[in-house]
Amino acid sequence: MERPEEPHNSGPPTLQHRNGPSENPADPAEILQHLPSRTVGQRDGFGLMDLTMPRWRQKLRSLRSMDSISNEEDLKGSNPYGCHDLNVIQTMFRLSGFKRARSLRALPVSLRTRRWCWLQASGGQTQATVAPGQPSHQTAAVHTHHKSISRLLELNNVALPVIAHLPRTRGRDIIPLVVKDRPSSPRSVGDELEYPAVTTSIFGKVRSQASDCLGLPFSLSLWHNTLKEIGGSFGSGVLSYFLHLRWLLLFNALALCLNIIFLLIPQLLHPPEHERVKPFPILELFTGTGYFSNTPLFYGFYTNTTINLVLRNSHNEFGNVSSNDGVDAGYSMQLAYLFTISAYLFISSIILLVCMARSFSDNYVKVGTAGTFSLKVFTRWDFNLMSRPAVLLEQRNIATSLKEMLSESRTKEHSPWVDFVNKLTVQPAIWLIYLGTALGCCSAIFFLYEKSEKLESQDDKAWKSEAGLLVLPTIISFFNMVLPLLYSRLAGLEGYRSPVNRVYVTLVRNIILKMFIIAGLFYHWLQKLSVEPNQCWETTMGQQLYRLVVMDFLFLIFDTVLIEYIFGLVTGGCQQSYAQRDSQKSEFDIARNVLDLIYGQTLVWLGAFFSPLLPAVQLIKLLLLFYIKKESLFRNCQQPAIPWMARKMSTVFVSLQFFPAFFGAVAVVFILWRQQPSKSCGPFRGLQVPSDAIDVWTTTASPKFSAVIWILNNIIENPIFLLVCAGLIIIGIYANWQIVHGYRQIMALLQNRIEEERMDKNFLLERLKMAQGTGTRAGNQHKIG
């Protein structure tokens, strides 16, 4: 039996009661319409998502659907859905400015409607105080507005579960007035500070103001057009690498700003004396020794003096004068250094943590398992693509993968036996190989390092010994270039089901390897160098890290150029099964490139303490890298074959960025608290541990700061405070975890209920058909008989 067109989901149940069953009361389709599962859901206006919605939004939705029930009497005619939006607007009145804006933006109606609602809700400064009129008058105007509402609804595709339309007449009155009324002297757009302080809250305004002027446009509009081109030609996956690069730029810019303002400028005003070294050969640009040792680039430049900033006689004279005449503004370099570095690391960790948490919750918590075909059809198409070849290629990719999926679903895929054997033998074997190569690589590095140090001490020629300093970074960078290739090949052998799993495993392995190498080296240096007397070990460490960063950059360039000259070099997880792919072109290996970014940034975080201007080096490196990679991309690469789940991968990238950063911060904190600084250089000379600077300050500070000192001594240094903080954080984490767990359970339960409803419905239909069949037969018999 042909089911008639069902009224839309949000059709109010009372309407159906009013209309009554029009034809045969036992018509199964009619009964279907009256099924409680159809109507109860819509009466509440809820779907599964509402449980995760904040309460104010749930209220809004329920109000909207209640509108549709209560206001039908006003609207006769073909339109069964019409409602007033007065209730919606009243609800919006009750919300605060920022929430109101948020609820307004999320209404799936036209912008015009939203602007009208905004005017109403804000109490409208200018013309919106037009009297609302008599909405329930059945005038000609209202008739036309009914027609236009229903037309609007048709055009807006009656699939809307939420209806908040405005009576079109009102819109007609108001919007043109707003549009036409321009002040005689139009204010220039530059007057951004004068807001009619009515509608949006201060917070919302500050946010948008900030995003217009400050940090965010720097991140959002830098390279905007280039990124658009890249996304248009290569898709969101490749774009995510460049976005990650741009995001890292922010960190380095922040570090640089802090360091320049708080460390460099004060120190430059009172530079330490040191002998001018030899002139500056090019090699020292790479090794960072010699000329650079006594520049602000490294730790050794900074002194432990207290710079007195005293203004005298309208000149800016900075001298070590005691403050007999009033203002004693001493700027202690020790404290400045300590706090700047700690603040920078702390802020970075917090930012990373917040970004990680947010993207994790977006992409992992709220999603479940996938239905592959439907997802491929509806979510695979990347709307970012702009260039014709990219679009054609993507269409071909989708077609091919759909064909593969169809053929897979027809035949049995990997038999469980093969999987089992795989898990038992091949995968452990590959892990063993991986561990073997990792250990071999580490030991090779240490061995060569020892050897190069011996050579270094034996060599007389200065430039040779300096060049010898470069051996270690070269080896490390070489391994960093080669081993990931090896690992991706190995992962290909393992027979993972989905290519994305393979990419994850390879990423994790590479990260572990690199972290081992860095951690090992760091520990080794710390042990070895810090016990040598008379040497500025922090500067030496800074130089080592500087060399690593520079070498890393050189190898990245080398690697990119290598791709340019070797055609057909297939890297990463590319499947060759797609015909007509350009075999001359390789794919842009996103995982490997992001790994390089993460590694480089970890080095910078580790080195921030030893070399305050290292972020500047990293900044220059990232800027150059962007352009180099972009050129290489456009010349050599084509779109990746596998659907690269950009959002999920960006979560993975941020998390992978977080953990090395966290450990780097822990390492630096350890140094600050436990390691004895060198006696001859740096801002912490003469102290047992750098954190003693705080104690020194507390004992010698003027009584103005007694409150601060008291807080420091009794609260912050009190272990109970730390315990309480840690306890609160743990409680917060546990509570959130439980909430998420609860939501997941509820979602599973509701899914089950949907399934059961479907089965119930089918069962009822069958029964009804049977009942109807017997009924008509009985009726026929009655007629005949």
Partner 1 sequence: MGNKKSTFTEEQLNAYQDCTYFTRKQILRLHSRFQDLSPVAVPGNDSELTVLSQVVRSMPELKENPFRQRIVEVFSTDGQGNMSFNNFLDMFSVFSEAAPRELKMQYAFKIYDFDGDGTIGREDLEKTLRRLTREELTSQEIMLVVNKVLEEADLDDDGKLSVTDFEQMILRAPDFLSTFHIRI
- Footprint on residues 407-466 left by partner 1 (CB under 8 A): 409
Binding of residue 513 to partner 1 (CB under 8 A): no
For residue 256, count CB atoms less than 10 angstroms from its CB and return exposed for 0-12, middle for 13-18, buried for 19 or more. buried
- Minimum distance between the CB of residue 197 and partner 1, rounded to whole angstroms? 10
- Minimum distance between the CB of residue 323 and partner 1, rounded to whole angstroms? 47
Q: Which of 83, 175, 333, 563 binds partner 1 (CB under 8 A)?
A: 175
Q: Which of residues 49-108 bind partner 1 (CB under 8 A)?
A: 49, 100-101, 104-106, 108
196 versus 533: smaller Cβ distance to partner 1: 196
- Residue closest to 167 by CA, chosen among 199, 207, 203, 138: 138
- Minimum distance between the CB of residue 650 and partner 1, rounded to whole angstroms? 8
Binding of residue 219 to partner 1 (CB under 8 A): no
CA distance 207 to 196: 16
Binding of residue 281 to partner 1 (CB under 8 A): no
CA distance 439 to 447: 12
Residue 146: count other Cβ atoms within 10 Å of its Cβ: 20
97 versus 682: smaller Cβ distance to partner 1: 97
Q: Which of 55, 276, 315, 388 binds partner 1 (CB under 8 A)?
A: 388
3-state class percentages of the chain: helix first, strand second, coil last, to nearest 5: 70, 0, 30
Q: Which of 93, 195, 478, 523 binds partner 1 (CB under 8 A)?
A: 195
For residue 409, count CB atoms less than 10 angstroms from its CB and return exposed for 0-12, middle for 13-18, buried for 19 or more. exposed
DSSP 566-596: STT---SS--TTSTT--TTSEE--HHHHHHH
CA distance 215 to 3: 57
34 versus 464: smaller Cβ distance to partner 1: 34
Q: Which of 93, 373, 567, 634 binds partner 1 (CB under 8 A)?
A: 373
For residue 353, count CB atoms less than 10 angstroms from its CB and return exposed for 0-12, middle for 13-18, buried for 19 or more. middle
Sign (positive or negative) of CA dihedral 354, 385, 577, 414: positive
Q: Which of 20, 25, 183, 785 binds partner 1 (CB under 8 A)?
A: 183
Binding of residue 189 to partner 1 (CB under 8 A): yes
- Minimum distance between the CB of residue 695 and partner 1, rounded to whole angstroms? 47
Binding of residue 387 to partner 1 (CB under 8 A): yes
CA distance 397 to 382: 12
3 versus 414: smaller Cβ distance to partner 1: 3
- Minimum distance between the CB of residue 748 and partner 1, rounded to whole angstroms? 13
Binding of residue 380 to partner 1 (CB under 8 A): yes
The SS3 of residue 223 is: coil
Binding of residue 774 to partner 1 (CB under 8 A): no
Binding of residue 499 to partner 1 (CB under 8 A): no
Here the tokens at position 11 are 């059709």
The 8-class DSSP code of residue 641 comes to S
CA distance 342 to 609: 9
Check: CB of residue 605 under 8 Å from CB of residue 665.
Answer: yes
CA distance 582 to 568: 9
How many residues bind partner 1, per CB under 8 A? Answer: 109
Q: What are phi and psi of 56, to 5 degrees?
A: -65, -30
Q: Which of 172, 585, 630, 685 binds partner 1 (CB under 8 A)?
A: 172
442 versus 765: smaller Cβ distance to partner 1: 765
CA distance 572 to 50: 41
109 versus 672: smaller Cβ distance to partner 1: 109
Element holding 695 (H helix, E strand): helix 692-700
- Minimum distance between the CB of residue 366 and partner 1, rounded to whole angstroms? 7
Binding mask 17-56 for partner 1 (x = CB under 8 A): ------------------------x-----xxx-------
Span interacting with partner 1, options 224-232, 319-327, 334-342, 347-355, rule CB under 8 A: 224-232
144 versus 780: smaller Cβ distance to partner 1: 144
Q: Which of 406, 455, 724, 726 binds partner 1 (CB under 8 A)?
A: 406
- Minimum distance between the CB of residue 555 and partner 1, rounded to whole angstroms? 31
Q: Which of residues 706-745 bind partner 1 (CB under 8 A)?
A: none
- Minimum distance between the CB of residue 410 and partner 1, rounded to whole angstroms? 9
Here the tokens at position 434 are 């991986």
- Minimum distance between the CB of residue 372 and partner 1, rounded to whole angstroms? 8
Question: How far is C-alpha 338 from the chain's CA centre?
Answer: 30
Q: Which of residues 119-148 bind partner 1 (CB under 8 A)?
A: 119, 125-126
Question: How far is C-alpha 523 from the chain's CA centre?
Answer: 32
Binding of residue 398 to partner 1 (CB under 8 A): yes
CA distance 371 to 500: 16
Q: Which of 372, 713, 745, 774 binds partner 1 (CB under 8 A)?
A: 372
Here the tokens at position 557 are 């360039």
Span interacting with partner 1, options 158-166, 473-481, 615-623, 736-744, rule CB under 8 A: 158-166
CA distance 305 to 261: 17
Binding of residue 377 to partner 1 (CB under 8 A): yes
Binding of residue 190 to partner 1 (CB under 8 A): no
Binding mask 327-366 for partner 1 (x = CB under 8 A): -----------------------------------xxx-x
Span interacting with partner 1, options 302-310, 327-335, 397-405, 717-725, rule CB under 8 A: 397-405
Binding of residue 768 to partner 1 (CB under 8 A): no
Check: CB of residue 587 under 8 Å from CB of residue 574.
Answer: yes
Binding of residue 770 to partner 1 (CB under 8 A): no
Compute the CA torsion angle 332, 334, 337, 342 (nearest 10 deg): -110
Binding of residue 395 to partner 1 (CB under 8 A): yes
